[in-house]
């Protein structure tokens, strides 16, 4: 039987500087030994969003300390690590370069394998870190940079069923918050204010609802929110609450509709008539209104809804270490030529898309 694997993971794709140590037993059971995350929210809040250069500089300042913290919290030495894994993409080039370079240096110095991990694969494999989640399963990833459905057939084997044709859902939340002067990050601010509002006051569109497939589109919804806000002579606190509630209601109905279509596509692609796992990951998964709606849809569709704890839904290094462990268990590793990939689709069929526009531009 193969030995247990202990992996050091590094995550620097956006505005969290993170390091973690994860152990995978020969039977495939995962255990998080440490998971250190340093948020840069305060650094970016004055700008209303993530500034790439500010993020990269912060990673340079704090990455070594976070790795040391992760090793100390796990009570393991670097020599006891079986491999070093780091996010290679998708994400911000400067930040990715910081983490990837450090991971390579540590692996080289210790003579250990190195693994360049797709950040989205970290999200995709997280449910297997948490328990006995068997392939295949359906993944909905909703965050500031990604909104997509993936059919997860195995480690490294993914099929993208749908994605956003324009903006990611988390971006729509952040832009709505910025428009109303609610601060950054926008998602929690919008959710809090929405609880005080009337979700029926403004008739915002439900983009792509009832259309064939499970693609998303949030640009039109974002525009409708802006036009509504600009049409008001003065935005009172109640106006803001009603806008947030109406926006959130539109999101909930839209995503619920897309999930129903995705479940149908999953069954068509896999021939899986029985109950299957439906995973929701990404920062937007923390929204309680959306989570409640997804619970209802999961009941309608007879699927097992799995939402990881919020600290494993947002950017973290434990998921990167686990993805590295899953790959290393299959005999996979990367060489020193592995480069950062700011645009890196999870599936092998969809070509990376650059700039704004059609399917996959945010992937």
Q: CATH number of the domain that 141 lies in?
A: 3.30.420.40
Residue 338 lies in a domain: no
Residues of the chain with pLDDT under 50: 353-363
* pTM assigned to the model: 0.92
Indicate whether 86 and 192 sit together in one domain: no
Indicate whether 52 and 158 sit together in one domain: no
Indicate whether 76 and 157 sit together in one domain: no
Indicate whether 21 and 101 sit together in one domain: yes
Indicate whether 273 and 322 sit together in one domain: no
Indicate whether 30 and 88 sit together in one domain: yes
Residue 352 lies in a domain: no
Indicate whether 122 and 145 sit together in one domain: no
Residue 254 lies in a domain: yes
pLDDT of residue 40: 85
Residue 204 lies in a domain: yes
Residues 139-149 have pLDDT tens digits of 999 988 889 99
Give the domain extent around 172: 137-310
Indicate whether 239 and 297 sit together in one domain: yes
Total domains, the chain: 2
- The C-alpha atoms of residue 322 and residue 334 are separated, in whole angstroms, by 16
Number of Cβ within 10 Å of residue 279's Cβ equals: 26
Number of Cβ within 10 Å of residue 4's Cβ equals: 15
Residue 349 lies in a domain: no
Residue 152 lies in a domain: yes
Indicate whether 188 and 237 sit together in one domain: yes
- The C-alpha atoms of residue 266 and residue 338 are separated, in whole angstroms, by 32
pLDDT of residue 360: 42
Indicate whether 236 and 299 sit together in one domain: yes
Indicate whether 85 and 169 sit together in one domain: no
Indicate whether 234 and 268 sit together in one domain: yes
Q: Is 354 exposed, middle or buried (0-12, 13-18, 19+ CB in 10 A)?
A: exposed
């Amino acid at each position: 039987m193969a030995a247990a694997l202990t992996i050091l993971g590094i995550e620097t794709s956006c505005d969290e500087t993170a390091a973690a140590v994860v152990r995978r037993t020969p039977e495939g059971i995962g255990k998080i030994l440490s998971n250190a995350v340093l948020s840069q929210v305060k650094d970016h809040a004055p700008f209303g969003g993530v500034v790439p250069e500010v993020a990269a500089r912060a990673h340079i300042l704090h990455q070594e300390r976070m790795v040391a913290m992760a090793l100390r919290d796990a009570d393991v030495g670097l020599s006891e690590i079986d491999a070093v894994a780091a996010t290679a993409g998708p994400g911000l080039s400067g930040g990715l370069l910081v983490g990837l370079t450090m991971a390579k240096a540590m692996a080289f110095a210790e003579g250990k394998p190195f693994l360049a991990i797709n950040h989205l694969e970290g999200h995709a494999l997280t449910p297997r870190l948490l328990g006995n989640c068997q392939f295949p399963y359906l993944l909905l990833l909703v965050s500031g940079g990604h909104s997509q459905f993936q059919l997860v057939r195995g480690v490294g084997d993914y099929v993208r069923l749908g994605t956003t044709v324009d903006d990611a859902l988390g971006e729509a939340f952040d832009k709505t918050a910025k428009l109303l002067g609610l601060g950054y990050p926008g998602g929690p601010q919008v959710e809090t204010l929405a609880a005080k509002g009337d979700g029926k006051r403004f008739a915002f569109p439900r983009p792509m609802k009832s259309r064939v497939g499970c693609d998303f589109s949030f640009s039109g919804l974002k525009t409708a929110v802006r036009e509504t806000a600009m049409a008001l002579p003065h935005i009172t606190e109640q106006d803001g609450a009603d806008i947030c509630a109406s926006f959130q209601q539109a999101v909930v109905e839209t995503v619920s509709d897309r999930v129903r279509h995705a479940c149908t596509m999953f069954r068509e692609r896999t021939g899986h008539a029985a109950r299957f796992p439906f995973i929701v990951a990404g920062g937007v998964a923390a929204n309680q209104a959306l989570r409640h709606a997804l619970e209802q849809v999961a009941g309608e569709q007879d699927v097992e809804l799995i939402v990881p704890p919020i600290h494993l839904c947002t950017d973290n290094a434990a998921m990167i270490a686990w993805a590295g462990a899953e790959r290393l268990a299959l005999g996979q590793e990367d060489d020193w030529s592995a480069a950062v990939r700011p645009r890196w689709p999870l599936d092998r069929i969809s070509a990376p898309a650059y700039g704004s526009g059609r399917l996959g531009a945010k992937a």
